[in-house]
């Protein structure tokens, strides 16, 4: 009998320290998310997304001058190469958004003459560029598949407000922009999840950052990771109204139990 069969070897990475990070800590058992020492409840609704980006990239919340510089830097990085915009226009309208995003990030590496520079500061700058460019890619693809003209970035808007502007074609109101900003803050970092792990494995080979982020997006889109959100949306659409929730769940659980029974009998 092998060590795995006997149970003397842990499967997966259970009990293994894969990395040490100061960026965030997900404490699921007590329902706590911490960014660089700050509880998420201290940040969400109190600090802007740009402030949180600075915290995660520079190690501290910015002062007024540092925040102004971060906002300007992100805004200046939003433009995409014309070839990538042409690529977005050429994608079939039924392309799943995560497929489109994965393809666009990979393509960005083809148009960066400094793509293979793995110097730490260069990697930081490329990371900030992608932070600014990913929402632009998503907004452009959404407009294309909706048959609408592209709306180009508005440089005097923050990250969240600019994304909504590019999606809707109009400057969002304060409440809408603030809501999106809080969503950005809540999703800024989530510890060593599957996509983070895949990105770290990829970049550890000393490849370029575009390859690492492409790996992360490919992992994120899976239904057992970020792709689960799409399943939730489909489930809510199937349920339709709150009065159907209990019946839907009971039926789903009964179906799951029946399928497991059939599977067990086939062994």
Residue 233 has what pLDDT?
81
In whole angstroms, give the CA distance from residue 94 to residue 75: 30
Separation of alpha carbons 12 and 96, rounded Å: 30
Lowest average pLDDT, out of 14-28, 41-55, 110-124, 241-255, goes to 14-28
Helix, coil or strand: residue 35 = strand
Over residues 67-77, mean pLDDT: 97
What pLDDT, in 10s, does the model give residues 175-215?
Answer: 999 999 999 999 998 888 889 899 999 999 999 999 999 99
pLDDT of residue 2: 56
Spell out the domains of the chain, with CATH numbers in brackets.
Answer: 47-229 (1.10.580.10), 235-265 (no CATH)
> Tokens 């982020």 belong to which residue?
213
Q: What pLDDT, on the 0 to 100 scale, is given for residue 230?
A: 74
Residue 79 has pLDDT above 90, yes or no: yes
């Amino acid at each position: 009998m092998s060590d795995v069969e006997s149970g003397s070897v842990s499967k997966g990475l259970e009990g293994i320290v894969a990395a040490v990070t100061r960026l965030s800590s997900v404490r699921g058992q007590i329902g706590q998310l911490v960014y660089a020492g700050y509880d998420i409840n201290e940040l969400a609704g109190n600090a802007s997304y740009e402030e949180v980006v600075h915290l995660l990239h520079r190690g501290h919340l910015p002062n007024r001058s540092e925040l102004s510089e971060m906002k300007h830097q992100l805004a200046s990085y939003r433009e995409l190469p014309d070839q990538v915009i042409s690529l977005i226009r050429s994608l079939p309208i039924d392309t799943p958004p995560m497929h489109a995003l994965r393809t666009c990030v990979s393509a960005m590496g083809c148009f960066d003459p400094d793509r293979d520079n793995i110097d730490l500061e260069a990697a930081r700058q490329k990371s900030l560029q992608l932070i600014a460019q990913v929402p632009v890619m998503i907004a452009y693809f959404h407009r294309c598949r909706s048959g609408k003209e592209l709306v180009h970035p508005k440089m005097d808007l923050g990250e969240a407000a600019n994304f909504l502007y590019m999606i809707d074609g109009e400057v969002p109101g304060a409440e809408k922009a603030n809501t999106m900003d809080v969503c950005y803050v809540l999703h800024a970092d989530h510890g060593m999840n599957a996509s983070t792990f895949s990105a770290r494995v990829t970049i550890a080979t000393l490849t370029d950052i575009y390859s690492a982020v492409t790996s992360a997006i490919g992992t994120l889109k899976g239904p057992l990771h970020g792709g689960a959100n799409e399943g939730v949306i489909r489930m809510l659409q199937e349920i339709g109204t709150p009065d159907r929730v209990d019946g839907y769940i009971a039926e789903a659980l009964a179906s799951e139990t029946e399928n497991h029974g059939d599977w067990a009998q086939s062994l």
